[in-house]
Amino acid sequence: MAVVVTFIPFLALAWKLLGFAIFGLALLDGWKLYDIKSIEIQRNVSGSLALGVWSEVTLQLRNPHLQTQKVEIFDDYPPYCEFEALPQTLLVKSQRSVQTHYRIRPEKRGNTQFSGFHLLTYSPLGIWKKYRYIKQETPIKIYPNFAAITKYTLLAMEDRLGQIGIKQLQRRGEGLEFHQLREYRAGDTLRQVDWNASARIKKLISKQYQDERDQQVIFLLDCGRRMWTQDGALSHFDHTLNAMLLLTYVALRQGDAMGLMTFSGQEQRWLAPRKGVNSVNVVLNTVYDLQPSLHTSDYLTAAKHLITRLNKRALIILVSNLRDEDHEELIPAMRLLQKRHLVLVASLQEAVLNQVLDQPVNQFKEALRYAATHEYLHSRRQAHEALNRHGVLYLDTEPEHLPISLVNRYLEIKRSGVL
């Protein structure tokens, strides 16, 4: 019993000494952390990113000091972006560098920036962490998704455009220009055969034609409130810009001139028709920061402004989200443009409409919704038929199908010679 009584004060003293030792060690660890200087960080990222496309950001961390540092880093990435692989914990050895990566996917176009870094530095024993914010601004531009242009170029080089839905139609009608003579190929018509050239070299020679060049294509881009409509990750306006970029590239490659005018937005933008594939960059920089407004779309005023800017016949493409109540204002606007130009109206259809029709009807509420959707689509078809009766070409499609549908309609118009 005496041994146990004697041991208890000794145990209490040992715990106190241990506590003082841990406290002292923690103070020493904290003092060393306070004395640690920050590492150097460099961010490498493209100055222009594509909307909805994953892009890689590279971080270079350099430790110029004599002490190895363990850090936790979080990059202050732009707003409206998804990210992967943040934050990250890294060990940066003395006088060494470490490189790491993470990915972001922008969800909104326009001018934005990376602001800086949130940095947690661990003490040597890992008891403490020291927070620092390192300001490092990197301005970037979020463009519409131009990945479709790259894909189109690659497939066009290999004559495989059918894989993305581009239709290779047979040419017909007038408005085609002679391009060159070449050897006869299977599928060439007899009208293409140059019999004089074939007789001279005793081999079938065909004439190769190209669509008429030096024509004008003008986008009339609706920036009104309906273009805020969003079915998935992208709004109708974003889908429209993606389609416009792809068609711009295709038309410029065809030798046509591309231009655009916006209406019903915060400001009106005008880009005069210009040629050359490099003009895609000009179009990008003209529209990348555009956002739809809360204004009602004014088609007639837009048509009046546009005809004062054009002195040559053009294909005018109006992209909007039309309703049947737009008919009374839209028809006069289209008639005004048709006096000299060919007009194509591309109307965006909400994907949810077809989803409603595909769902089973089991309750009265579902039946009402099904019937209302049918009635709405019927009114929409009537509005489009009215455009057709007035000689206006129209295209009714869901936003995600707009790029390919618009390119196909443009190529069809070119090959028919009606422009």
Residues 6+ apart with CB under 8 A from 156: 253
Q: Which one is predicted more confidently, 233 or 248?
A: 248
Q: Tokens representing 92? A: 């940066």
3-state secondary structure of 194: coil
Q: Which one is predicted more confidently, 390 or 235?
A: 235
Among 27-41, 278-292, 354-368, the range with the most confident prediction by mean pLDDT is 278-292
DSSP string, 308-319: TT--S-EEEEEE
Cβ-defined contacts of 148-157 (< 8 Å, 24+): 148/242, 148/245, 148/246, 148/403, 149/245, 149/246, 149/249, 149/280, 152/246, 152/249, 152/250, 153/249, 156/253
pLDDT at 158: 46
Q: Give residue-wise pLDDT tens across range 215-233.
A: 899 999 999 988 888 877 7
Q: Which amino acid is it at 359?
A: Q
Q: Give residue-wise pLDDT tens across range 396-418.
A: 888 888 888 898 899 888 888 77
- Its pTM stands at 0.73
Q: Which one is predicted more confidently, 267 or 162?
A: 267
pLDDT band at 204 (very low <50, low <70, confident <90, very high): confident
Q: What is the mean pLDDT of the chain?
A: 82
CA 358 to chain centre: 29
Q: Which of 111, 121, 168 is nearest to 141 (CA)?
A: 111
> How does DSSP classify residue 396?
E
pLDDT at 73: 94
pLDDT at 222: 92
Q: Which residues pair with 258 in a beta bridge?
A: 217, 274
| Residue 32 pLDDT > 80 | no
pLDDT at 305: 94
